[in-house]
Structure 1
C-alpha cells in the first residue's frame, strides 16, 4: 500500500491531507502560519505538526508512513536558497516534492492542465501554466507586492485609522472600528505595527469588507482599489496566453462581487483545491 500526503503551507495556516491509493481521505491536520519567512526551524516544526495530526488520525504505523509520497506547497520557497534548505529537512517518507503554495493551487484548480489561478488570501499571486510552462505574476511579498490581498486591505485600513485619529481625514465607522482595537491610542497602534506580520494585517480585512458592504465610503474606496488590482491580474494572465483563470484563497469569495460582470464571466470554477494540487504533485493519479 502506498499513501499520499498533501501540504498547503501559507501565510495564515498550514493544512495537511492524507489519502490512500484509492483517493480516500484518511487523515488531515491544520496548524498556524508556515510561510518560509518564519524561519526554517519554525517552518519544519509547523509542517511536522500538521503531518503528525494527519498520520495520527489515519492510525498509520512507521512502516506505512515510510511508503508516503508527499507533495508540499509552501509560501515563500521561491526566495534564493530556500528550496535547497527545505530539501535538507528530514521527513520519514518515500519521497517529497516541493512547490510554492500558488503552484499547488493552480495544479489543483486545473487538474494539472494549462490554466491560471489568482490566489487572494493573506497575500496575492497569479500562478500560470501555458503550454506546460509554469510562471508566476506578482507575489513578491508584503508590503511591496500582494496587491488586492488581505494584508493590503489591512494596511490601508490602518493608514485610514491613523489619519482619522490625527484629524487628517474624516472619521468613518471603519476608522473607528480599527482604532478601537488600540484604544484609539496612536502609540499602541505604532507598537503593534512594529511587530505586525502580514497575517496580522490580513486579520483586519474582514472588518474592511464588512464596512464596505455597509457602504462606508473609505472602506468602499479601499475595496474598489483592491478590485482594480485583481482585475488587472486577471487581464494579465489571459494576455499571457492562459486558457482559463480561477480564483482561490480566503478572500476570493468576498472580492468576487466587487469585480465587473465581464471579468467574472471570464472566470472558471476550480476543479479542485490546493491540497488536491499537492496530492497531484506528490504523484497521485486517480484511476
Structure 2
C-alpha cells in the first residue's frame, strides 16, 4: 500500500460491520499501513436495518477518532466498508443513499471480501468467515473471485453462530415439552434465551406452561444476532451429543465451501471470525497443510478498500 500524496480527505477509515459488532480502524492517507486507532460499536449488518448500521458505524468511527485525539469529520475521510448483507442489492443501495452528506468518498464491499483482503493481503487465497453469519470467498491466481454460501440467515449461513443457535434451540424446546431431557445443555440454552427455569418442567402444569410461553416469545422475536448469542453455550457443551453432531455437520459445511472455492486444493486457506477456533477442529484434516493464519483482520481489509478508493480521487 503506497501512500496517496493528496492533502484532501486526509484520513482513511476501514469499517468491518457484521451482525454482532462493528469495528472501525483509521489511518492517515499518507501512511495507509499505520493504524492510528480503532473503535467498536454495536452490530451494523444490513439485515438489522440501514439506520442501525449507520448509527453503529458512526459510533465506532467517533470512538476511533477520539482515541486518536481527533473529532470525527466525515468531510475529511475516505471510507471503505466491509458489511454483512451488501450482496442484497436493495439493502446496499439504501445504505449508500443514507451516507452522511459531507462524506466525499464511500466504497462498499461485502465483509467476506474485506476479510479476504485482510487475511491474504490482497494475494490469492481462500477465506471462510465464521461469525454471526458465514461465507466463503476465494481469489484464484487467475484473478477470478469465487463465492460460496452467504445466502443469509435463516436459509443459509451454514456453520455460523446464528446457524448453530437456530439448530440448537430445538433441544431446549424439546426439554420444555418433556419430549427430551432437561439436561445441563437445555438449561443453559434456556437461561441464555432469558427463560427462567421453573419447577415442574416435566409436567403440563402452570410452571411448565410459563416456560413454554417465555421460550416461544423469544423464538418469535429472535434475530440473527440473538441466535448467534447462543454459540458460546453450544461451544461450552461441545461434548453433548446434540452439540457434537452440530459441530460435525458444521465441519462438513466448511469442507464443502472450501472444495467449491478451491477444487484443486492449491490455495492458502484462512479460517476467520470469532467462531473459527471453535469450528476448526471439525474440518477435514486434508486442509491442514494449507491452513495459514490471517495476516490482518477484516477492518484492515476495509482500510485497503478505502485506500484503493482514495487512489481514484
TM-score norm. by structure 2 comes to: 0.83
Which of 8, 27, 43 is residue 16 of structure 2 equivalent to? Answer: 8
- Superposition pairs of residues 217-236 of structure 1, within 5 angstroms: 217-236=241-260
Output the CA distance in 2 between the equivalents of 1:241 and 1:77. Answer: 28
- Superposition pairs of residues 1-287 of structure 1, within 5 angstroms: 2-20=10-28, 21-22=30-31, 23-60=33-70, 66-88=75-97, 89-90=99-100, 92-130=102-140, 131-180=142-191, 181-184=194-197, 185-212=211-238, 215-239=239-263, 243-283=267-307
Q: CA RMSD in A?
A: 2.2
Q: Which runs of 5+ in 1 are unaligned?
A: none
SS of residue matched to 2:89: coil
Output the CA distance in 1 between the equivalents of 2:63 and 2:46. Answer: 21
Q: Which runs of 5+ in 2 are unaligned?
A: 1-6, 198-210
- 8 Å contact 2:126–2:138 — kept in the other structure? yes
Output the CA distance in 2 between the equivalents of 1:269 and 1:37. Answer: 29
Output the CA distance in 2 between the equivalents of 1:124 and 1:117. Answer: 10
Deviations 1:227-285 (A, max 9, x none): 22122212222118872221111100111122232233332221211011111111169
- 8 Å contact 1:172–1:218 — kept in the other structure? no
TM-score norm. by structure 1 comes to: 0.90
Residue 91 (structure 1) shift:
5.4
Output the CA distance in 1 between the equivalents of 2:116 and 2:261. Answer: 12
Residue 68 (structure 1) shift:
2.3
Residue 198 (structure 1) shift:
0.9
Output the CA distance in 2 between the equivalents of 1:161 and 1:123. Answer: 22
Output the CA distance in 2 between the equivalents of 1:97 and 1:58. Answer: 23
SS of residue matched to 1:86: helix
Residue 221 (structure 1) shift:
1.4
SS of residue matched to 1:281: helix
Range that drifts further, 165-174 or 270-279: 165-174
Range that drifts further, 171-180 or 124-133: 171-180
Aligned length: 282
Structure 1 residue runs of 4 or more that deviate by more than 6 Å after TM superposition: none
- 8 Å contact 2:62–2:71 — kept in the other structure? no
Residue 178 (structure 1) shift:
1.3
- 8 Å contact 1:172–1:216 — kept in the other structure? no
Deviations 1:49-104 (A, max 9, x none): 11111222223367x75342221111101112222223222254442211011110
SS of residue matched to 1:25: coil
- 8 Å contact 2:125–2:269 — kept in the other structure? yes
- 8 Å contact 2:250–2:282 — kept in the other structure? no
Q: CA 1:241–1:231 in structure 2 vs 1: closer, same or farther (change >3 Å)?
A: closer
SS of residue matched to 2:36: strand
Point out the structure with max Rg over C-alpha.
2
